[in-house]
Amino acid sequence: MMGVATSARPKARTGLSTARKAQNMVMGGLILLATLLVVAPLILIFVYLIREGIGAVNLDFFTKVPAPEGETGGGLLNAITGSLIMLAMASVFGVLIGLAGGIFLAEYPRHPLMPGIRLVSDVLAGIPAIVMGLVAYGLIVLNFGFSGFAGALALGFLMIPIVVRTTEEVLKLVPQTVREAGLSLGLPQWLVTLKIVLPAAAGGIITGVMLALARVAGEAAPLIFTAFGNPNINFDPSKPMSALPLEIYRGATSAYDENQRMAKAGALLLIVLIFVTSLLARRFSRKV
Amino acid sequence: MKKIFLLGLALSATAAVTSASAQSLTGAGASFPYPLYSKMFAEYKKDKGVSVNYQSVGSGSGQKQIIERTVDFAGSDNPMSDETMKTAPAKLLHIPTAIGAVVPSYNLPGVTAPLKFTGKVLADIYLGKIKLWNDKAIAALNPGVTIPPLPITVARRSDGSGTTFVFSDYLSKVSSEWKTKVGTGNSLDWPVGTGAKGNDGVAGVVKSTPGALGYVELVYAKQNKLPYGSVQNRAGTFILADNGPASKAAEGVVIPSDTRVSITNSPNADAYPIASFTYVIFYQDQKYGNRTEAQAMELKKMLSWMTTTGQQYNEPLDYAKLPSNAANKAKTIINSMTYGGKKL
Amino acid sequence: MSDPARRLPTRASMSSASDGVFRTIILALASVIVLVFVVSLYLLGKDSWPALQRFGTDFFTTRTWNPVTGTFGAAAMITGTLVTSFVALIISVPLAIASALFVAEYAPKWLANPVGYLIELLAAIPSVVYGLWALFVIAPVLARWQITFFSPEYPERLALYTKCAGIWANDQTTLQCFFVPSSGAGRGLALAIIILTVMILPYTASVARDVIRLVPADQREAMYALGATKWEVISRAILPYARAGIMGGVILALGRALGETLAVAMVIGDSQDILKSLWGNASTMASVIANQFGDAQELLHRSSVVTLGFILFFVSVAVNLLARVLIGRLTPKGVK
C-alpha cells in the first residue's frame, strides 16, 4: 500500500551528517536493548525455576503423591499421570477432528462449506481457554461429574484449531504434481490423499500435533472446573484427575513451603517438557 | 515420540498402583478443614484402601457442587441455609466433623507478642476505616507494643468461603455497621482487601506481605508459622485461639437434630469467639445418577470413620474434637442414609 | 474399504463412489469444529440468559457485584480487562517491534535464529508459570519499593500517601495519587499489567517479524541506494510498508491479553472497587470466572459469571476477525 516515501529522500548527498549517524546508532542501540528486555524474562524464569525447583526433582517427586497438608516429602505422580492421560485423550479427539478439518480445507478448496469451516476454526483459536472450560463443564461435568474426560475434552477443543491450521498449511505445500501423479495411476482421490499426500506431509503434521500438545499441556484454566484435581493417582477417566498445571496453580498460591516447592519443581518439569517438545517439533519440520 | 514416552510412563505407573483404583470417593468444599481432611484421607487410604479425593475449593463451591450432584459429598463450614437446601434435587444431610477457630493472622516484622483485637477493630479494618497498623484503635488495645507504621494489607477470600461466612457472621454480630454495609455470606461485596483463593491463599498473602492481616483457620497460621492475635469474646476476655477455647464455644449451645448451628460469639466466658463446626454435606438417599449401592456404602463407612476413628487426627492438627453430643447426633444422621428408600 | 472392490465396478464409478464416502467422512469430522462453536454459543447463551434478562444493559454499566444481595454489574471487570490489556499492549508493542526488527534486520543469521526461537519460547511458557514467577519474584520487589511509602524514613513519601489516602477515602483520585501505592502487597493491577506485557510480547513480535521479512527487498535497496542509514530505511521504508500487518499482530496480542486468565487471577487481587491507584487491587472478566465460577451457587451469580464468559467469547471472536482481515489484507498474495 505504500511505496518508498518520496519525502524520505536524504538531503545530504556527499556523506552522512553526524546527526543522522548518531540517530542511526541510538536507534540501533535501543533496538538491541529492547530485544534484551524481551528475552530477559524467559531467561530469568528459567534460571529461577532451575535454582528453586531442581532440588525437589528427585525420585519421590516422580513416585509419590502430595503429602497431607503441613507434612513434607510428597511428589507429583498424581499430576504427572493425570497430565499424560488427559493429553493422550485430548490428542485422540483433537488430532482426529483437527486432521479431518485440515484435510478438508486443503483438499476440497472449492467446497461451498470450506470458507465457513476455515473461519470458525480460526475464530476458535482465539477463544480464551477458560471459556472452553466453561463449555466442557456444561457439556460433561453437569451430566457426568468432574472427570479426566471433561478435562481432556476441554484440552481437545483447544488443540483442534492448531492442528487444523498446521495440517492445512503443510498439505498445501505438497506439490500438485504429486497428487496428479497418483490420480494418473488411476487411484481415487481419497487414496491419493491418504496414501500419498498425507505421508508426504507427515513430518509437518506431527510438528503441528506436537506444538498443539505443548500449547495445551500447560493449560490450567480450562481444567479447574473439569478435571478438578485429585491428590490420588487415578487412571479412571470418569473420575477427577490432577494435572501438572493444576498442581502448580495450587502450590503457587499456597502458604505452605512444601506446596510451593512442589509447584516450582512441577513448573520446571513442565517447561522443560514443553521446550523439548517445541525443539523436537522444530527438528521435525526442518527435516521435511 | 513424546507420546510413546508418556504412554510408557503411564503404563509403568499403572502397573504399580492398579489395586488402588478399586474404590474412590470425590468430595469438594471448605478449605478450613483441608489440612485435617488431607491427613484423614491419607490415613484412610492406608487403612482401608479407599481413595478419597477431597478438593479444597471453598465451601461455596462445595455447596454448589453437591447441589449439582457432581461430587459424592461436600465440605462446608457454614451449614446450608433452608433456602439453599430447597434448590437441591433431594434431601441433604449435614454432619459436623470438627470444630475450628478462625484467627486474625498477620505479618508484622518485630512484633513478637500476640496482638489483641476486638470484633469492632476487626470490622473497622475490613470496612477500610482503619488503614494503618499504628492506628489509635489498635494501639489502645495493645499498650506497650511497638507496632510498625505499616499499611494494613487486608487479605480476604476471592472464592465463596465458609471461613468468610463464619468471620462475617461474627462481625455482623458485633458490628452493626458491618451488618448493614456488608452482611454475612460465603461471598461478599468487600469494601477493601486483596482477594486470594482458599485459606491457603490468604495465608500465602499474609506470609509474603509485611503489614498483611488475614483471617484463616488456626492450623494454617500454626503450620505456616504466622503469628495470630487474640480476640475479645462476648464476656470481655481476650482469648488466644486453641483447641480448648474453640470447643468451649460449642459448650452450652443446643445442637439441633440436624446439627446446623452457629457457634460464633459464644456466651461461654472461656470460649474463643470466632469458632465454628465444619460440616460434611451429602444426600440422604444415595440412589441418584449412576451411583451403585456399593459406592453409597463406601461413603457411609467413610463418614462414620471420620466422626469416630478419624477424630484422633483433630487435636494434633489444632482442631477440636467433636463433643460427644454432636458425635452422637452425627451417628444418628449417618444411620438414616438410604439407597432407593432402603436403609443402607 | 474393501467394499467397492467386491462390486467390481468400473474404475471411474469406483473412484467417484469411494471419493464421495471419504469426502462425507472428512466433512462430517470437520463439521465437528462448527459444532463445537455452535454448542459453545448455545451453552453460554443459555446460562447467561437469566442475568441478561434480569439486569439488561445495566450489567455492562453498573459496578456493584454483590453476591449477598444478588446484584451484579460487570463494569468493574470490563474496565479491569480493558485497562490491563491496553496498557500492557502499549508497553509491549514498541518492545515487540524492536525485537522483530533486531531479528529480521540487524542480527546476523547465527544470532537471529536463536533469538527468534527464544522469543517464540516465551509464548510457550504456561500462564500458571508466569503467575508463579510474578508472585514469587516480581511481587516482593514491588512490595519492597511500595513499603517505603509507609515508612517514617521517607517522610515526604509518607506524607504523599497520607494525603492520597484521604482522597481515596472519598472514592476519588488525582493523577499524582494514581501512581502512589495503596498497599505494600506487591500484587495488584500494576503487577497484572507487567506480567501481561511479558506474556503478549511474543505474539506481536513473531507476526511483526514475519511481515517485516515479507517487505520486498527492492523497498530497502531503493532507500539504501539513496544513501539512507539503516534506521532511515527501517522507519521510512520497512515500517510503513509492514504497518498494517504489524497491526494484525498487535490485535492478536490484544485478543490474548483480553482472555488471559490464571496469571492475572493469581496476581491482580480480585477487587471490584473503583480504580484509585495503579497499585491497587482490581479484577478482569477472566479472573472473576476463574475465582468465582466454581462457587457461584445462586442462579443469578452463576449466570452473571457465565455472562462474563459469553462477553469474552464475543470479544475474542470480534478481535480475531479484525486481526484476520488486517493480516489477510496486508500479506502479499502467494507468499503465505
Q: Is there a single domain that holds both residue B123 and residue B247?
A: yes
Residue B2 in any domain: the answer is no
Residue B122 in any domain: the answer is yes
Instruction: Out of B226, B253, B275, pick the residue that ends a domain.
Output: B275
Residue B19 in any domain: the answer is no
Query: Are A68 and B35 within 8 A, CB to CB?
Result: yes
Residue B209 in any domain: the answer is yes
pLDDT for residue A2 is more than 50:
no
The average pLDDT across B311-335 equals 95
Q: What share of chain B is helix, strand, coil (3-state, %, to 5)?
A: 40, 20, 40
Instruction: Tell me which residue in A84, A239, A259 faces B6 most closely, judged by beta carbons.
Output: A84
Q: Is there a single domain that holds both residue B32 and residue B75?
A: yes
Domain, as residue range, for B268: 101-275
DSSP C273: S
pLDDT digits (tens, 9 = 90+) for C50-93: 999 999 999 999 999 988 888 999 999 999 999 999 999 999 99
> Which chains touch C (3+ CB pairs under 8 A)?
A, B
Q: Which pLDDT does position C272 carry in this prediction?
A: 87
Q: Which pLDDT does position A14 carry in this prediction?
A: 53
Q: Is there a single domain that holds both residue B124 and residue B268?
A: yes
Q: Are B80 and B67 in contact (CB under 8 A)?
A: no
Q: Which amino acid is at A264?
A: K
pLDDT digits (tens, 9 = 90+) for C184-193: 889 999 999 9
Q: Look-up: residue for cell 489502645?
A: B140
The average pLDDT across B63-89 equals 94
* C-alpha pair distances (Å), C312 with each of A162, B175, C201, C259, C299: 20, 39, 21, 7, 20
- Grade residue C197 by pLDDT with cuts at 50, 70 and 90: very high
Does A22 touch chain C if contact means CB atoms closer than 8 Å? Answer: no
Q: Which pLDDT does position C18 carry in this prediction?
A: 87
pLDDT digits (tens, 9 = 90+) for A250-259: 999 999 999 9
Residue B144 in any domain: the answer is yes
pLDDT for residue B5 is more than 70:
no
Q: Is there a single domain that holds both residue B151 and residue B118?
A: yes
Q: Which pLDDT does position C331 carry in this prediction?
A: 54
Instruction: Tell me which residue in B10, B21, B55 faces A85 most closely, judged by beta carbons.
Output: B10
Instruction: State the best of C147, C157, C183, C299 to mutate against chain B, taking most chain B CBs within 10 Å.
Output: C183
* C-alpha pair distances (Å), B26 with each of B29, B62, B69: 11, 11, 11
pLDDT for residue A283 is more than 90:
no
* Burial profile B42-63: b = 16 or more Cβ within 10 angstroms, e = fewer: bbbbeeeebbbbbbbbbbbbbb
Q: Cell for A238?
A: 470418569
pLDDT for residue A4 is more than 50:
no
Q: What share of chain C is helix, strand, coil (3-state, %, to 5)?
A: 75, 0, 20
* C-alpha pair distances (Å), A282 with each of A29, A174, A285, C113, C210: 30, 19, 5, 12, 17
Q: Are C260 and A128 in contact (CB under 8 A)?
A: yes
Closest CA of chain C from B335, distance in Å: 28
Q: Is there a single domain that holds both residue B292 and residue B236?
A: no
Q: Look-up: residue for cell 479426566?
A: A148
pLDDT digits (tens, 9 = 90+) for A146-183: 999 999 999 999 999 999 999 999 999 999 999 999 99
The H or E element that residue C163 is part of is helix C155-169
Domains and CATH numbers, chain C: 21-330 (1.10.3720.10)
pLDDT for residue C305 is more than 70:
yes
Q: Are B277 and B166 in contact (CB under 8 A)?
A: no
Q: How far apart are CA B257 and CA B260, in angstroms?
A: 8
Number of domains in chain B: 2
pLDDT digits (tens, 9 = 90+) for C234-252: 999 999 989 888 998 999 9
Q: Quick one: CA torsion of C108, C114, C116, C119, rounded to 10 degrees?
A: -140
Closest CA of chain C from A28, distance in Å: 7
The H or E element that residue C240 is part of is helix C239-259
Q: Which pLDDT does position C335 carry in this prediction?
A: 37
Q: Is there a single domain that holds both residue B219 and residue B115?
A: yes
CB pairs under 8 A between A and B: 117
State what percent of residues in chain A have pLDDT above 70: 93
Residue B13 in any domain: the answer is no
Q: Are B121 and B137 in contact (CB under 8 A)?
A: yes
Phi and psi angles of residue B19, each rounded to the nearest 5 degrees, phi first: -65, -25
Residue of B nearest to A62 (CA): B13
Q: Which positions ≥6 away from A7 have C-beta within 8 Å?
A: none
Q: Which pLDDT does position B262 carry in this prediction?
A: 94
Q: What is the SS3 assignment for B79?
A: coil
Q: Which positions ≥6 away from B5 have C-beta within 8 Å?
A: none
Residue B179 in any domain: the answer is yes
pLDDT for residue B90 is more than 90:
yes
Q: Which pLDDT does position B47 carry in this prediction?
A: 94
Q: Are C264 and C192 in contact (CB under 8 A)?
A: yes
Q: How far apart are CA B1 and CA B4, in angstroms?
A: 5
Query: Are C259 and A128 within 8 A, CB to CB?
Result: yes
Q: Which pLDDT does position B268 carry in this prediction?
A: 92
Q: What is the CATH number of the domain that holds B255?
A: 3.40.190.10
Instruction: State the best of C150, C267, C304, C305 to mutate against chain B, taking most chain B CBs within 10 Å.
Output: C150
Closest CA of chain A from C109, distance in Å: 15
DSSP B88: S
Q: Is there a single domain that holds both residue B214 and residue B250?
A: yes
pLDDT digits (tens, 9 = 90+) for A191-243: 999 999 999 999 899 989 999 999 999 999 999 999 999 999 999 999 999 99
Q: Is there a single domain that holds both residue B337 and residue B320?
A: yes
Instruction: Out of B217, B241, B275, pick the residue that ends a domain.
Output: B275
Query: Are A20 and C229 within 8 A, CB to CB?
Result: yes
Average pLDDT over chain C reads 89
Average pLDDT over chain B reads 91
Q: Is there a single domain that holds both residue B260 and residue B140?
A: yes
Instruction: Tell me which residue in A81, A232, A253 faces B51 most closely, judged by beta carbons.
Output: A232
* C-alpha pair distances (Å), B267 with each of B8, B248, B253, B271: 62, 10, 9, 8
C227: left (phi over 0), alpha (psi -120 to 50) or beta: left
Q: Is there a single domain that holds both residue B233 and residue B117?
A: yes
Comparing B252 with A60, the larger pLDDT belongs to A60
Angle, CA of B122, B125 and B126, to the nearest 5°: 85
Residue B95 in any domain: the answer is yes
Q: Are A197 and A178 in contact (CB under 8 A)?
A: yes
Q: Which pLDDT does position C182 carry in this prediction?
A: 85
Tell me how crowded residue C98 is: count the other CB atoms within 10 A of its CB. 23
Tell me how crowded residue A229 is: count the other CB atoms within 10 A of its CB. 26
Q: Is there a single domain that holds both residue B35 and residue B168?
A: no
Instruction: Out of B216, B249, B275, pick the residue that ends a domain.
Output: B275
Please report the sign of the dihedral spanned by the C-alpha atoms of residue A21, residue A22, residue A23, residue A27. Answer: positive
Q: Out of A77-91, B20-34, B229-243, C142-156, pick the least confident.
A: B20-34
**ipTM, 2 dp:** 0.92
Q: How far apart are CA B130 and CA B124, in angstroms?
A: 6
- Grade residue C324 by pLDDT with cuts at 50, 70 and 90: confident
Q: Is there a single domain that holds both residue B181 and residue B263?
A: yes
pLDDT for residue B18 is more than 90:
no
